[in-house]
């Protein structure tokens, strides 16, 4: 065990923030860490918009249906971005149009997530709290208009950052046997591991909600899969230049 691993194992999402700003120095460390993430072919295919304007944060809270977004000190909107690569092609004087292929969408989205997670760890290492907000994809057009995102760019998720005003319990993860396989995949023991996890999560929710929430992980996943959400994303991505061939 070392300090880095201790920090990683201490993660919990924070959804209540003190009315204290993130300093310029803290933000600079967060962005330095984000930019040092590995990136596919050095494409660095992401951009991040830091939102501190209270009116814009309020709109983003509404669009994402996550009320606490307005209380974050800064709301970082992490965007997959091929527009800089389009610019690079134009700077070379050719007439190459960046293809919005499935592969490019994956590259840009993975780059975005890796940078964001580096930022999250940097923030937590300075005592700040974070929570990712996939909820911005409830209203991706409104978010894109508000932030003036160009073509070949889309908002992947937001991230609230601020000084924590609560300390929720650490959420248990699945048993190792469900997740890790040696040399080849095997489904042996996975169902048993999930049954064990269901019991762990039931206890966790009961404790965290004072007995109000009696749910298991498999229950939650089944309910979630019955109603696939955000079916607007396909058309939205297409309209932004991710034609997905
Ligand atoms: C891409 C992504 C999107 C998320 N979106 C939301 C969100 O919109 N609202 C929210 O309250 N939490 C959101 N979360 C937080 C997850 O619910 C949380 O990470 C998960 O339940 C595990 O809990 P923990 O982070 O406290 O360990 C998101 C997490 C990720 C990685």
Residue 97 CA to ligand 1 centre (angstroms): 35
pLDDT of residue 155: 98
Average pLDDT, the chain: 97
Cβ–Cβ contacts within 10 Å for residue 174, how many? 16
Mutate to test the pocket of ligand 1, among 7, 9, 13 (most ligand atoms within 8 A of CB): 13
Q: For strands 153-162 and 74-81, give the pairing.
A: antiparallel
pLDDT of residue 30: 99
Q: Is 12 in the pocket of ligand 1 (CB under 6 A)?
A: yes
* pLDDT tens-digit series, residues 44-61: 999 999 999 999 999 999
Closest ligand 1 atom to Cα of 66 = 9
* pLDDT tens-digit series, residues 204-220: 999 999 999 999 999 99
What CA–CA distance (Å, rounded) separates 88 from 103? Answer: 19
- Beta pairing partners, 81: 153
Q: For strands 153-162 and 129-133, give the pairing.
A: antiparallel
What average pLDDT does this structure show over 130-159?
98
Q: Does the pLDDT value for residue 192 go beyond 90?
A: yes
Q: Judge whether 145 and 29 are in contact, CB under 8 Å.
A: no
Residue 138 CA to ligand 1 centre (angstroms): 14
What CA–CA distance (Å, rounded) separates 61 from 65? Answer: 6
* pLDDT tens-digit series, residues 102-130: 999 999 999 999 999 999 999 999 999 99
Q: Is 11 in the pocket of ligand 1 (CB under 6 A)?
A: yes
């Amino acid at each position: 065990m070392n300090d880095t691993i201790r920090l990683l194992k201490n993660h919990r999402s924070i959804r209540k923030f003190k009315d204290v700003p993130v300093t310029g120095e803290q933000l600079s460390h967060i962005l330095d860490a984000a930019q040092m993430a590995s990136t596919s072919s050095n494409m660095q295919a992401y951009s991040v918009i830091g939102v501190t304007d209270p009116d814009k944060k309020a709109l983003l809270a509404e669009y994402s249906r996550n009320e606490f977004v307005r209380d974050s000190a800064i709301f970082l909107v992490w965007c997959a971005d091929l527009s800089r690569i389009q610019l690079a092609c134009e700077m070379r004087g050719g007439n190459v149009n960046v293809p919005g292929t499935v592969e490019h969408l994956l590259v840009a989205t993975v780059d975005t997530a890796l940078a964001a997670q580096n930022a999250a760890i940097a923030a937590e290492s300075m005592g700040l709290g974070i929570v990712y907000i996939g909820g911005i994809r409830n209203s991706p057009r409104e978010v894109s208009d508000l932030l003036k995102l160009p073509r070949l760019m889309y908002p992947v998720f937001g991230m609230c950052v601020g000084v924590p005003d609560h300390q929720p319990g650490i959420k248990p993860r699945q048993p190792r046997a469900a997740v890790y396989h040696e040399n080849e995949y095997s489904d042996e023991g996975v169902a048993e591991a999930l049954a064990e996890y269901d019991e762990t999560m039931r206890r966790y929710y009961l404790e965290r909600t004072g007995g109000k929430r009696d749910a298991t992980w498999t229950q939650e996943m089944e309910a979630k899969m019955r109603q696939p959400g955000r079916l607007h994303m396909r058309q939205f991505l297409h309209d932004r230049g991710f034609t997905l061939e």
